[in-house]
A and B are shown apart, each in its own frame.
Chain A
Amino acid sequence: MTGPTLSLPLAVLEGIHLNELINQLTSVLADSEASSDPAIERLVPDAYPEDTDASAEFSNATRADLLERRRADAVSVQHALKPLSTVAPEDLAGDEAIQEREVLIPAQELDAWLRTLTALRLVIAARLNITAADDEHDLDDPRFHVYDWLGYRLDGLVALADAHDEASG
């Protein structure tokens, strides 16, 4: 079963980092039952802010399913990343780490990629207290660089996906 595939250029080091970030996302998800976490709450927003009963009912019906989908998406992204992420950084010679490789994304897993990159940004934004688009970025905090880098890659992937739709009608 092979369908259309998109190819996303990604440096080996980026693949390693992205894989590690998804590991962290997975552990945040694993703790979602244990305690209240604003990052998790952002992944399962309140559909009825003005109606407590309807809000609870909607949450009961959707929360577990949504969080499970984040886990499932994470698994498929990490699967596609394997050719890059299984490389040990210390085994990379010279500028090999920053050389771009093509990550192959089956078209039917494109949404899983878009949703995972989005979920990572939402979680990081919650950790960084980003509440407005023009919030000052503290450039000494490496998490802002990670957040911006994910935004850059997500925007590129959206463009790639839109072009793919255009071409396949």
Chain B
Amino acid sequence: MSTPIATPDLDEVTDLYAAPLEPWQLVVWNDPVNLMSYVARVFRTYFGYSSEHANQLMLSVHNDGHAIVDTGPRETMEVHAQAMHDFGLWATVRKVPS
């Protein structure tokens, strides 16, 4: 952490509050290697999703090629992306398409 050279002025702070709260998506992509049972388990245990929801997301990944697994602030989506990579899943972060 470096010390800020100047205190940010109030306008910037206002801008931060004005920013949309959930502009980013975590997308998990289908791959030929990961087992369906494993992907559903990762969604359930990592995100705390119900078995039904986790299973549904896994099936979307499998059938549609990808699924939006979470939506939220960019930093949070990046933390999740790294966690998905840690589990061997192929995850990307993107802005909510407008």
A130 with B32: CB separation less than 8 A: yes
Which of B33, B37, B45, B92 is the one whose CB lies under 8 Å from A130? B33
Q: Which residues from chain A contact B33 at a C-beta distance below 8 Å?
A: 118, 121-122, 125, 130
Given contacts A44-B85, A62-B82, A66-B86, contact A132 B92 (CB under 8 A): no
Q: Is A50 an interface residue (CB 8 A)?
A: yes
45-82 of chain A: CB within 8 A of chain B = 45-50, 54, 58, 62, 65-66, 69
A115 with B41: CB separation less than 8 A: no
A: interface residue count bin: 35 or more
A118 with B87: CB separation less than 8 A: yes
Q: Which residues from chain A contact B85 at a C-beta distance below 8 Å?
A: 43-45, 47, 62, 66
Q: How far is the CA of A165 from the CA of B40 in the complex (A)?
A: 14
Q: How far is the CA of A125 from the CA of B37 in the complex (A)?
A: 18
Q: How far is the CA of A122 from the CA of B38 in the complex (A)?
A: 13
**A-B pairs with CB below 8 Å: how many?**
73
A47 with B37: CB separation less than 8 A: no
Q: Is B49 an interface residue (CB 8 A)?
A: no
Which of B35, B86, B93 is the one whose CB lies under 8 Å from A154? B35
Chain-B contact segment, one of A14-22, A30-38, A156-164: A156-164
B86 with A50: CB separation less than 8 A: no
Q: Is A102 an interface residue (CB 8 A)?
A: no
| Interface residue ranges, B against A (CB under 8 Å) | 32-35, 37-38, 41, 45, 78, 81-82, 85-88, 90-94
Show 29 residue pairs from A and B whose CB-CB distance is below 8 angstroms, ordered by the A residue: A45-B85, A45-B92, A47-B85, A47-B93, A49-B92, A50-B94, A54-B93, A58-B81, A58-B93, A65-B82, A69-B86, A114-B38, A115-B87, A118-B33, A118-B34, A118-B87, A118-B88, A121-B34, A122-B33, A130-B32, A131-B32, A132-B32, A133-B32, A151-B35, A155-B38, A158-B37, A159-B37, A162-B37, A162-B41
